[in-house]
Amino acid sequence: MLRKLSDSHVAVVGLGYVGMPLALMLAKHMDVTGFDIHVDRVRELKEGFDRNREIEGPLLRTTTCHFTSDLEEIRSCNVFIVTVPTPIDDQNKPDLGPVEAATRAVAGILKKGDIVVYESTVYPGVTEDICGPILEQGSGLKSGKHFFLGYSPERINPGDAEHTVQKITKVVSGQTDEVADFLMDLYGQMNNGNVFRARDIRTAEASKAIENAQRDINVAFINEVTMILNKLGLSSYDVLEAAGTKWNFLKFSPGLVGGHCIGVDPYYLAECALNIGHEPRVILAGREINDRMGPYVATCIHDLLTKQTGPGKNGKILLLGFTFKENINDIRNTKVLDILKALQALGHDVAVHDPHARPEDVQQEYGIDILSTLPERAEFDVAALLVGHEVYKEMTPESLQSIVKPGGVIYDMKGIWRPMALELGYQFSYQTL
Ligand X SMILES: NC(=O)c1ccc[n+]([C@@H]2O[C@H](COP(=O)([O-])OP(=O)(O)OC[C@H]3O[C@@H](n4cnc5c(N)ncnc54)[C@H](O)[C@@H]3O)[C@@H](O)[C@H]2O)c1
CA distance 157 to 328: 11
Where does this chain touch ligand X (CB under 6 A) — which range of 153-161, 196-204, 299-307, 352-360? Answer: 153-161
Check if the beta carbon of residue 86 is closer than 8 Å to that of residue 120. Answer: yes
Where does this chain touch ligand X (CB under 6 A) — which range of 11-19, 57-65, 226-234, 356-364? Answer: 11-19
Where does this chain touch ligand X (CB under 6 A) — which range of 13-21, 286-294, 307-315, 393-401? Answer: 13-21
Give phi and psi for 32, each to the nearest 5: -135, 135
Binding track, positions 70-99, relative to ligand X; x by CB under 6 A: -------------xxxx-----------x-
Residue 156 lies near ligand X (rule: CB under 6 A): yes
Give phi and psi for 318, each to the nearest 5: -110, 120
Residue 268 lies near ligand X (rule: CB under 6 A): no
- Identify the active-site residue in 77, 131, 261, 272: 261
Where does this chain touch ligand X (CB under 6 A) — which range of 34-42, 59-67, 269-277, 372-380? Answer: 34-42
CA distance 95 to 333: 15
Residue 14 lies near ligand X (rule: CB under 6 A): yes
Residue 261 lies near ligand X (rule: CB under 6 A): yes
Residue 150: closest CA among 46, 75, 78 = 78
Neighbouring C-beta atoms of residue 233, cutoff 10 Å: 6
Check if the beta carbon of residue 205 is closer than 8 Å to that of residue 123. Answer: yes
CA distance 13 to 314: 49
Residue 152 lies near ligand X (rule: CB under 6 A): no
Residue 331 lies near ligand X (rule: CB under 6 A): no
Nearer to ligand X, 18 or 256 (CB): 18
CA distance 214 to 353: 31
Size of the site for ligand X (CB under 6 A): 28
Residue 135 lies near ligand X (rule: CB under 6 A): no
Nearer to ligand X, 71 or 374 (CB): 71
Residue 120 lies near ligand X (rule: CB under 6 A): yes
CA dist list (Å): 44 to 47, 85, 287? 5, 20, 36
Check if the beta carbon of residue 69 is closer than 8 Å to that of residue 35. Answer: yes
**3-state SS assignment for residue 195:** strand
CA 224, chain centre distance (Å): 22
Residue 18 lies near ligand X (rule: CB under 6 A): yes
- To the query of whether residue 77 is one of the catalytic residues in this protein, the response is no
Q: Which residues are at the interface with ligand X (CB under 6 A)?
A: 13-19, 35-38, 41, 83-86, 98, 101-102, 105, 119-121, 154, 156, 158, 260-261
Catalytic residues: 261
